Amino acid sequence: MTGAEVAGLSVERIQTGLRGREFSAVELAEAALQHAEAENPKTRAYLRFSPDRALAAARRVDENLAHGVDLGPLAGVPIAVKDVILTAGLRTTCGSKMLETYTPPYDATAVTRLENAGGVIIGKTNCDEFAMGSSNENSAFGPVRNPRALDRVPGGSSGGSAAAVAQGTAVLALGSDTGGSIREPASFCGVVGVTPTYGRVSRYGLVAFASSLDHIGPFGRTVGDAAALLRTIAGRDEMDATSAFAPVPDYAAAMKEPVKGMKIGLPREYFEGLRPEVGDRIERGVEILKSLDCEVRDIAMPHTRYAISAYYVICTAEASANLARYDGVRYTIRSKYSETLSDMYRNTRGEGFGAEVKRRIMLGTYVLSTGYYDAYYLKAQKVRALVARDFSEAFREVDAIVTPVSPFPAFKLGEKMDNPLDMYLADIYTITGSLAGVPCMSVPCGNTPAGLPVGLQILTRHFDEVGMFRLAGAFERAGGSA
Amino acid sequence: MKITEKEVRYVADLANLRLTDVEVQRMAVELDQILTHVDLLNEVDTSGVEPMSQVLFDAPETATLREDRPRPTLGSEIATANAPLAAAGCFKVPLVIER
């Protein structure tokens, strides 16, 4: 099997190929690893590969096939995993010097589930340090390049996962999203990226950034592929008390249902300050939805403009608490030059964390400190409630909300690194859905005249991933992604 | 100015974070810029609004509590395996109490 053949595979094609004995899972895994290793110098999407683990998983698939044992829905599928998701015995660094040699003692639930479904993990992907960033330039191990334009960022923080799928070196990838970290890179790289309902996928084994906002979600080249991975990893897990009991429907079957008469809201607040080349593609996307007999109407979501401020108070506050554990005692690195315990904490953290992580720890500590708690943290939580209320009110009128994912396409490496606030504003359209905890996704919506991908964001009610996939699937079939 | 260099040093202390002088200067400028943007929140009337600390669903509160039963743990050897300095299943740190 050639690299080009690997790059064109879908989940469904792999299932027919394996069952029809066109290729074995081991052959596929070997070809995928070879292809990924050969392509990686262009983008640096992967931090490391896991050939032993991949081949062991592939051999299990081939043995099951030989013995007539039922194959799982992801049998043989090459999958990349973001390096903030724990893999037992396989180094997991979070893109940080702080965890450069950390080898987790257990697997994340999402990892266990995708491997139980026959999935083959081929490597760990690069990301912004502790998932903090919108460009992947905050990785301690160097940036990822966008496979669609190598002088541009892939988006962040799950930039490596998005780039791996876009480059065709993995069929699927796991990412994590706190304020847009799956959807923004999916949109910049031209792939499908899904942030499911908060609690839909267990966070057990996801290194915590902001616990009330963190999600694990899938990337794929098609809506069907991403839905297949979500279905595998979703559902209650007693290791995560916030994971939801709601049953997991068959997304693939639901996707085939018609979208005629579906009510779609366009919040006017999301169409201000948009680059024209992005706006043009989104407008064309909306025309396609109309041609599918969806009822499109304008809606108002008045608290949208406050979402960034609320988000950067809440996420940094939670991060300052979650990252307190990296103190030189339990995790791999310790400053060499400390006589007292207190110096050891301070020096280890000062040496181990990068600039953006320090900035967020500082902001979070500040907004939680005496005298500022009510003015910043409590106020932000109240504004979060109002942003969420905007959604619940909108969803009384409409079944889905459609917006751009980002106001601009992938920007150049280095372009926003000198201005943290400017970088934060890249998340302006993705943050709101994160605050409300509703399911949201980026589906490819064509390219700008310069050839840069644009993503259409679809948001639906809590636990209505079915409605989201149905609309995204119909959009894709109607040629919306071309 | 919303935040001074002196305050930056105080907050860094609370956060157990060693910052260089250059970092303190840069942090003061950047945090000031971000906090100024965050001031937008003051435009919003939040009287009577309950703070949202978690995404909540219509499930009984106890539904998320699992049964309290013993289960195997990692054990101290595995749990300390990533520590920079460990011995006999314990984490080792610099001297805390003077003898």
Mean pLDDT of A425-443: 96
Supply the CATH number for residue A219's domain: 3.90.1300.10
Report DSSP state, residue A375: I
Residues 303-332 of A with CB under 8 A from B: 303, 305-306, 308-310, 312-313, 320, 324, 327-332
pLDDT digits (tens, 9 = 90+) for A20-67: 999 999 999 999 999 999 999 999 999 999 999 999 999 999 999 999
Q: Do B12 and A362 touch (CB under 8 A)?
A: yes
Residues of B in contact with A382 (CB under 8 A): 44, 46, 49-52
Q: Which residues pair with B86 in a beta bridge?
A: B91
CB A278 within 8 A of CB A285: no
In-domain check, residue A229: yes
Nearest CA to CA, how far is A438 from chain B (Å)?
9
Contact indicator for A430, A457 with CB cutoff of 8 Å: yes
A211 annotated active-site: no
Residue A482: which pLDDT band, with cuts at 50, 70 and 90? confident
Is residue A240 predicted with pLDDT exceeding 80? yes
Cβ(A54)–Cβ(A82) below 8 Å: no
User: Is A10 labeled as catalytic in the residue annotation?
Assistant: no
In percent, the amount of chain A with pLDDT more than 90 equals 92
Task: Report chain B residues whose CB lies below 8 A from the CB of A434.
Answer: none
CA proximity to A166, closest of A480, A481, A477, A419: A481
How high is the pLDDT of residue A191? 98
Q: Please list the residues that pair with A215 across neighbouring strands.
A: A177
CB contact under 8 A, A359 and B31: yes
Residue among A96, A157, A202, A406 flagged as catalytic? A157
The 8-class DSSP code of residue A377 comes to I
Nearest CA in chain B to A326: B16
The residues near A297 (Cβ < 8 Å, ≥ 6 apart) are A263, A264, A265, A266, A397, A398
Nearest partner of B82 among A203, A81, A91, judged by Cα = A91
A352 lies in a domain?
A: no
DSSP string computed for A98-147: GGTT---SS--HHHHHHHHTT-EEEEEE--SGGG--SSSTT-TT-PPPBT
- The DSSP code sequence of A195-234 is E--TTSB--TTBPPS-TTT-EEEEEESSHHHHHHHHHHHB
Q: Domain of B32? A: 1-43
Sequential DSSP letters for A272-302: SS--HHHHHHHHHHHHHHHHTT-EEEEE--T
Q: What is the pLDDT of residue B59?
A: 58
Please name the residues in contact with B82: beta carbons below 8 A apart, sequence gap of 6 or more.
A101, A102, A103, A105, A330, A331, A332
* Cβ-defined contact of B41 to A333 (cutoff 8 Å): no
Residue B24 lies in a domain: yes
Chain B residue whose CA is closest to A350: B18
Q: Which residue, B42, B36, B44, is CA-closest to A387?
A: B44
What six digits make up the tokens of B73? 């743990």
Which amino acid type is present at position A94? C
Q: Which helix (H) or strand (E) holds A190?
A: none
Examine the pLDDT at A80 and tell me if it is beyond 80: yes
Average model confidence (pLDDT) across chain A: 96
Q: What is the pLDDT of residues A304-348, one digit of tens each?
A: 999 999 999 999 999 999 999 999 999 989 998 888 999 999 999
pLDDT of residue A118: 98
Contact between residue A135 and residue A143 where contact means Cβ atoms under 8 Å apart? yes
Cβ of A332 within 8 Å of Cβ of B34? The answer is: no
Nearest to B27 among A349, A359, A388 (CB): A359
Other CB atoms within 10 Å distance of the CB of residue A69: 11
Torsion angles phi and psi, residue A402, rounded to 5 = -125, 130
Average pLDDT of the segment spanning A7-17: 96
A63 and A24 Cβ atoms separated by less than 8 Å:
no
As a whole-number percent, the residues of chain A with pLDDT over 70 amount to 100
pLDDT interval class at A423 (50, 70, 90): confident
Beta bridge partners of A460: A400
**Tally of domains in chain B:** 1
Establish if A422 touches chain B: CB-CB under 8 angstroms: no
ipTM of the complex: 0.94
A181 included as an active-site residue: yes
Instruction: Say how many C-beta atoms besides its own lie within 10 A of residue A417's C-beta.
Output: 17
The whole-model pTM stands at 0.97
Residue A373 contacts B, CB cutoff 8 Å: no
Interior CA angle at A266 toward A308 and B52, to 5°?
40
Residue with the larger pLDDT of the pair A158 and B89:
A158
Q: Which of A181, A187, A406, A442 is catalytic?
A: A181
Picking from B7, B11, B46, the nearest residue to A379 by CB comes out as B46
Tokens of A251: 């997304």
B32 part of a folded domain: yes
Is the separation of the CB atoms in B12 and B19 below 8 Å?
yes
Q: What SS3 string covers chain B?
A: CCCCHHHHHHHHHHCCCCCCHHHHHHHHHHHHHHHHHHHHHHHCCCCCCCCCCCCCCCCCHHHHCCCCCCCCCCCHHHHCCCCCCEECCEECCCCCCCC
Residue A48 lies in a domain: yes
CA pair distance A457, A190, nearest whole angstrom = 12
pLDDT average, residue stretch A187-207: 97
Q: Is residue B73 part of a domain?
A: no
Cβ contact A365–B14 (<8 Å)? yes
What domain range is A26 assigned to?
Answer: 3-254
Task: Give the per-residue pLDDT at B57.
Answer: 63
Using CB atoms within 10 A of its CB, is residue B56 exposed (0-12), middle (13-18) or buried (19+)? middle
Q: What is the DSSP string of A315-329?
A: HHHHHHHHGGG-SSS
In a domain, A274, yes or no: no
Q: Please say if the pLDDT value at position A288 is more than 80.
A: yes
∠ CA A244-A245-A246, nearest 5°, is: 95
From CA A432, how far away is CA A416, in angstroms rounded? Answer: 22
| More confident: A253 or A394 | A394
Tokens representing A328? 């030189």
pLDDT of residue A319: 98
Neighbours of A349 (CB within 10 A): 25
By the 8 A CB rule, do A31 and A51 touch?
Answer: no
CATH code: domain of residue B22? 1.10.20.60
Residue B57 lies in a domain: no
pLDDT reported for residue B60: 58
**pLDDT in the model for residue B28:** 97
Of B12, B19, B64, the CB nearest to A241: B64
B19 within domain boundaries = yes
10-residue stretch averages of pLDDT, chain B, 99 residues long? 94 97 97 95 96 76 73 92 93 83
Q: Hey, are the CB atoms on A242 and B51 less than 8 Å from each other?
A: no
Q: Is A299 a domain residue?
A: no
| pLDDT in the model for residue B97 | 78
Q: Is the pLDDT of residue A450 over 70?
A: yes
Nearest to A246 by CA among B15, B95, B19, B63: B63
In one-letter notation, the amino acid at residue B91 is F
Is A365 within 8 Å of chain B by CB? yes
User: Which pLDDT belongs to residue A295?
Assistant: 98
pLDDT value, residue B99: 66
* CB-neighbour burial class of residue B1 (10 A; exposed 0-12, middle 13-18, buried 19+): exposed
**Number of domains into which chain A is organized:** 1
pLDDT at A374: 93
Mutate to test the interface with B, among A325, A327, A362, A464 (most CBs of B within 10 A): A362
Question: Would you say residue A115 has pLDDT above 70?
Answer: yes
